[in-house]
Structure 1
Amino acid sequence: MEVKKKTFTLKVVFFKYLLTLVVAFIVFIGLYFAVFVLMQIKSVIIQPNYSEILARGAKSLLASAPEITENMIPDGCKFAVLNKKYKVTKTNLDGKDLLTAIKYAKGTYSNDGRKKCYYFVERQDGSCVLQYYLQMRYQSEFLNKHLPGPQKTMLVIFAIIYFLIVFIITAICAKKLNKHLSPLLQATEKIKKQDLDFDIKYSGIKEFNDVLLSISDMKTELKKSLEKQWNIERAKKEQISALAHDLRTPLTIIKGNAELLSDSTISKEQQEYVNYISKNSIQIEKYIKILIEISNSEKPIFLQLEEIDSINFINTIKDQLEAIANTKGLKVKFIKTLIPKSIMIDKSLLYRAIMNVISNAVNYCPNNGEICFEVKSIDNKIKFITTDSGNGFSGEDIKSATKQFYMGDSSRASKIHFGIGLYITESFVNLHGGRLYISNSHITGGAQVTIEIPIC
């Protein structure tokens, strides 16, 4: 993999991200003050000392007017008109504010450090006290009543907008970072699936490219190693298959001679030896059959789906099961529930899969035992359930029974199957998009194997 485009380090990427946040913050601070100035120009908000300035400007008018009216009072101010004995003659103050205004007129109250302030205007017949706020306020009294101060309100609004912008910037940066990370994730996912025929794509971040270069080298070496291993395995299987076929000729000769000896006049002891030869020849023949099946099991198998009559297919299996069971005097229990009229399957492969399971069940079932074969459909799936009355699977069997060459424990180990039966069965079931379940029956205590196939 060659990296020709310009790359950046992670340090630069994160620095750009932080710089973007800082610039956004500075812009927002500038915008915050600009909006404040604009709101002051448009008289949406007023300066903290705005009412005080108006109060000072209205002093001469209020001092000389024969009678004070509300339209003489500056904006943002309330008032109280007092006579020389500090009795209220006119006011729009009430409660505590009115009492405080009287105290201020008497000189017993100070404005120092307070937001709510008072201004004294001496008149010929008494005095006038103006109340105002020494803080930034809205021009609208409705806003002053229902909203926090302009500074707090603006701060909250701008904080929300800024955090929203930070979220958007972070999301955009994360998306870009994920785009640079994508080639790395794709490469590891393909290697995980053992798909090594692909070109590793470029990432715009130096550290990611360093990792991708290492993965590219690892992929090349892994591909060589796997190809070598696959070639060795293929050659081994071909040798096993060839050897198995070659063994058939001398085995046929041995069986033929044993049969000739058996037909000739020989002693009882000699007949016993001939029987041993015949019996073990049959055993060897089974071993050879398994070896050939193992060597062929890795060859690609393609489904040949066809719509078949379900009842005929099941009855064929039933007849075969009864024939095999008779050899050991086994009782056969057959159950059918909600069988669909037809199913779409590869008849040959599914038949082999089911017969493998039945064959195992018969082998592991004691003489005069019982085999139960149940077929039922549920949730758009058809299930073939085989249960025997043998010793059942051990915990290790349940985990490993479908592994190729698995021997099993002494309770179910067979000198014939070596685990190949369930291994091939699971392969055929998987091709149909189904599943193989291995467990023990709660009723008989024996093994229970379920083949589940979707009904197409």
Structure 2
Amino acid sequence: MVKRRADRKWKLSSLFWRYLVTTGVMVAVCTVLWWMAVVACISVGFVYQASVGARNLQKTQERLLRQEEFQGEEIPFYYDWCLVSEDGTVLQAKMSEKVLKQAKNVEGDDGMRVFPYSKFFHAVSLKDGSRCVLAYDYSMPYVNPMLQRYLPDFQVTATLLLFVCWGVIAVTRTRKYTKILQNDTRAVRAAADLVASQRLDEPILPEGKIRELNDALETIEKLRVELAASLSRQWAMEEQRNQELASLSHDLKTPLTVIRGNAELLEEEELASWQEASVEAILRGTLHLEEYVQELRSVAAGSGESSEEFRKLPLKKFIERCREDGEALCAAKKISLKVCMGEEVARQSEEGFSFRGQEMQLLRAIRNLIDNAVRFSKEGQEIVLEVQEKDGRLIFTVQDSGPGFCQEALAKAGKIFYTSEKHRASEGHLGLGLYFCCKVAARHGGGLKIENGEKGGRATLVIVYGFLGDLG
């Protein structure tokens, strides 16, 4: 039975009503006990009833009328009084100035509001023609005049004590139920933090007292289990992909070495000019492939970072290299490449300006953008490579005349292994091009942006001039 009570779960509404009812009952009990204490004080003769002044008014009046000469000390202490002559002169008084101003003009019965009690007046005409005005209220005076003089007002003190008891009850009950809510919400927050920090191997136990928050804990536990299973599958797929990449990069080394060796042998022979150009294209392509293989090995190893160092790169020479690589990529489909430079870039290029960067990585990123534009352009069309400078950033924009990017490509391009042409994965296009461009741009303090222009797709690679070094 005790265990069932400890394991009991409350609805949030039930907890609220439980709080209201228990607090109300305790307040009611406290009030009854307070009232019994006040009655006990009256019963034992510690204080008078609040109506003592009104109840004894007639007796006090009779006592005053029997006096041959006015004697104020015979008036009970719980009355304030003043003696007024026939012409309205105050002869004697035992009351405050504020009350006296109204009391001296009273000839019968009257009253006035004075904090914390209303004052009531009763005038008694004496034998000598003067009148005594008695003032009383409905407070509870102490029986002992000394206590009445030195202690605070009993009724005000008792009322404040009641309010303090109510406050203590409200605070203690609120703290108790607030602690229940805090414990359960803290458990929900801890569970959410557990999932957010990917500590998915720790089970979440629904041990709260509030049913709704317990349900939330159970939901988070289900989410944890499903997320852990999903991540396990994803990690397994990632590991498999990395193994495939490592195997692919290893298998590519041998044929690349054979191709480069034979091309170098051909380069030593006497060839026609068109043959020399073909051999140079083979060697250049082989070099690029070796760079790709090295990058694949980095991705497979999980680092994704290039070991190439940052160094000073002449702007004019770099743009010329971009032009040569771009024209070589465009030649197969007889696509023309137009290189445009902004005014500031053209000026800096002629003045021998240099910037810091990883030359091979940047060239490869721009080649990827141009290669992507070539794949989606038709034979005979034009690709534009525009180089601009803005706010200390170098901006390379590749514009093609193709159909542009689809919505999925705009959202996912730059993610590893994503390709908008699913059938091209079987042709060796694994969706690494734009991913590498993003990584290179990030290493140079910039970024990659793809969008659809007026004529087709547009890819923009941004790098920071002085990133990881001073300007040249």
TM interval, shorter chain, is 0.5 to 0.7
- Structure 1 298/216 Cα, relative in aligned 2: closer, same or farther at 3 Å? farther
- Structure 1 448/402 Cα, relative in aligned 2: closer, same or farther at 3 Å? farther
**Structure 1: where are the runs of 5+ without partners?**
302-315, 335-353, 372-386, 394-398, 408-414, 430-435
Q: CA deviation at 1:88?
A: 6.8
Q: CA deviation at 1:362?
A: 11
User: Which of 232, 235, 251 is matched with 1:246 structurally?
Assistant: 251
Q: Secondary structure at the match of 1:99?
A: coil
Q: CA deviation at 1:116?
A: 0.9
Distance 1:418 1:439 in 2: 11
Q: CA deviation at 1:65?
A: 3.2
- Structure 1 421/273 Cα, relative in aligned 2: closer, same or farther at 3 Å? closer
Residue deviations 1:41-81 (CA, integer Å, cap 9, x gap): 68776433323444444455433333222212221234456
Aligned 8 A contact 1:437 1:450 in 2:
no
Instruction: State the one-letter code of the partner of 1:224.
Output: A
Query: What is the alpha-carbon root mean square deviation over aligned residues?
Result: 5.2
Q: CA deviation at 1:213?
A: 3.2
Q: Do structure 1's residue 226 and structure 2's residue 242 form an aligned pair?
A: no
Q: CA deviation at 1:292?
A: 1.6
Structure 2 counterparts to residues 12-51 of structure 1, below 5 A: 12-37=14-39, 40=42, 46-51=48-53
Distance 1:97 1:419 in 2: 97
Structure 2 counterparts to residues 36-435 of structure 1, below 5 A: 36-37=38-39, 40=42, 46-59=48-61, 61-79=63-81, 90-92=91-93, 94-100=100-106, 103-104=107-108, 109=109, 115-118=119-122, 120=124, 123=127, 125-126=128-129, 129-139=132-142, 154-155=158-159, 158-159=162-163, 162-163=166-167, 165-205=169-209, 206-297=211-302, 320-321=311-312, 331=352, 356=358, 360=362, 389-391=394-396, 418-420=434-436, 423=439
Q: Secondary structure at the match of 1:321?
A: strand
- Structure 1 144/34 Cα, relative in aligned 2: closer, same or farther at 3 Å? farther
Aligned 8 A contact 1:81 1:89 in 2:
yes
Q: CA deviation at 1:231?
A: 0.8
Distance 2:67 2:437 in 1: 116
Q: Tell me the equivalent position of 1:8.
A: 9
Q: Secondary structure at the match of 1:167?
A: helix
Residue deviations 1:65-122 (CA, integer Å, cap 9, x gap): 3322221222123445678x7887954275431221xx22xxxx57899841315366
Distance 1:81 1:20 in 2: 55
Residue deviations 1:152-180 (CA, integer Å, cap 9, x gap): 66545543553454234223312222212
Q: CA deviation at 1:186?
A: 2.2
Q: Give aligned pairs, total.
A: 368
Aligned 8 A contact 1:439 1:448 in 2:
no
**Structure 2: where are the runs of 5+ without partners?**
321-348, 367-386, 399-410, 420-430, 449-460
TM-score (norm 2): 0.60
Q: CA deviation at 1:239?
A: 0.6
Q: CA deviation at 1:324?
A: 11
Aligned 8 A contact 1:62 1:128 in 2:
no
Deviates more, 1:47-56 or 1:278-287: 47-56
- Structure 1 117/254 Cα, relative in aligned 2: closer, same or farther at 3 Å? same
Distance 1:403 1:449 in 2: 25
